[in-house]
Amino acid sequence: MWSKWFGKKKVAGQAVSSGAPQADVQLNVVILSDLGMIRTNNEDMGWFVRNSSEEIIRQKGYLLVVADGMGGHQAGEVASNLAAETVSEVYFHSGDKTGIEKSLDKAFRSANEKIYSLSSSDAAYRGMGTTCTAIAIVGNQIFYGHAGDSRAYLIKKGVVTQVTEDHTYVQELVKAGEITHAEAARHPKRNILTNAMGTKPSLRVDTGRHAGEFGFHDRILLCSDGLYDYIADNELAEILDGRSLQDAAETMVNEAKRRGGHDNITVVIAEKLNPSAPAATRETRDIKIPQSIQAPQTKETELP
């Protein structure tokens, strides 16, 4: 059985947090997804997943996911939802003898197959696809699975490190030494993807373990390009410094909207709770998602 907290796409300005104690590690997580200033449909998806079994949490940890869908007539919304759901389910279904990176790789490829199959068989979904970035927090370790241009960051002692690498045309130019990172951020073709989930039968999946450990004062941020197109890395660190996760998420999203908000904006922020810290410092507030979206804040599904 596993539980998932998610930022439902049609809820602008709703955050979800969890401070539920599980196994040896306790996480505080906030998810915020917003339409932005131009789009009429939110094709982003943000998830936080934990298994109800403490033993499985010790083996597989917690999972954070962001997916940014693409495709007309709500097909992008379908793609991002399928990505988050399939990656989460397959990851935790993988046996305990399967390594974390292999589990993530298998989960991403399974999601790619499912999305591509639907896209190929149903004209309404033809051409749909999605980015997908997942972070597995296992003890103090950070593992990632990645396809597309959504991002994962580790913020440690005020220093922002991008954990994932963008699968974009401009990133290829950066790697080839043809342009700088600063030039890439302003390049007119910066949003052209070279890899995405569900657009082809095969998928390039980046997996690995980040060199840095996840400590009590660190924060992990997953986001869609609707955020980082407007908020620079150093600004992310400044926003996170001294703020609660909820306040930080709201500040990021509001600032991205103020600067243009051309796309949907989704952030997932996590921190490790210090069990010795006073209870008053722990952010455990839950925000109820309106019933109008027909989605509960938490959902438990029995895994066969």
In this structure, is residue 126 part of a structural domain?
Answer: yes
Predicted pLDDT at 114: 98
Tell me what pLDDT residue 54 has: 87
User: How large is the C-alpha radius of gyration of the chain?
Assistant: 18
In a domain, 189, yes or no: no
- Give the number of other Cβ atoms within 10 Å of residue 175's Cβ: 10
Quote the pTM value.
0.86
Q: Which domain holds residue 17?
A: 2-165+196-301
Residue 223 confidence (pLDDT): 99
Question: Total structural domains in the chain?
Answer: 1
> Helices (H), strands (E): how many in the chain?
8, 15
CA angle, 109 then 113 then 114, to 5°: 120
**Cα–Cα dist 116/17, whole Å:** 32
Distance of CA 23 to the CA centre of its chain: 22
Low-confidence stretches of the chain (pLDDT < 70) are 1-24, 73, 96-97, 277-304
Give 198's DSSP letter.
T
What local confidence, expressed as pLDDT, does residue 25 receive?
74
212 in a structural domain: yes
Structure confidence at residue 277 (pLDDT): 63
Phi and psi dihedrals of 261, rounded to 5?
55, 50
pLDDT of residue 23: 54
The answer to whether residue 171 sits within a structural domain is no
Structural domain contains residue 226: yes
Give the rounded distance of the alpha carbon of 222 from its chain centre: 4
Give the start-end residues of each E strand in the chain. Answer: 2-7, 14-18, 21-22, 25-34, 44-51, 62-70, 129-130, 132-138, 141-147, 151-156, 159-162, 206-209, 219-223, 265-272, 298-301
Q: What is the pLDDT of residue 59?
A: 92
- CATH (domain of 62): 3.60.40.10
| DSSP output for 141-158 | EEEEEEESS-EEEEEETT
pLDDT in the model for residue 18: 52
Q: Decide if 200 is inside a domain.
A: yes
Is residue 185 in some structural domain? no
pLDDT, residue 302, reads 29
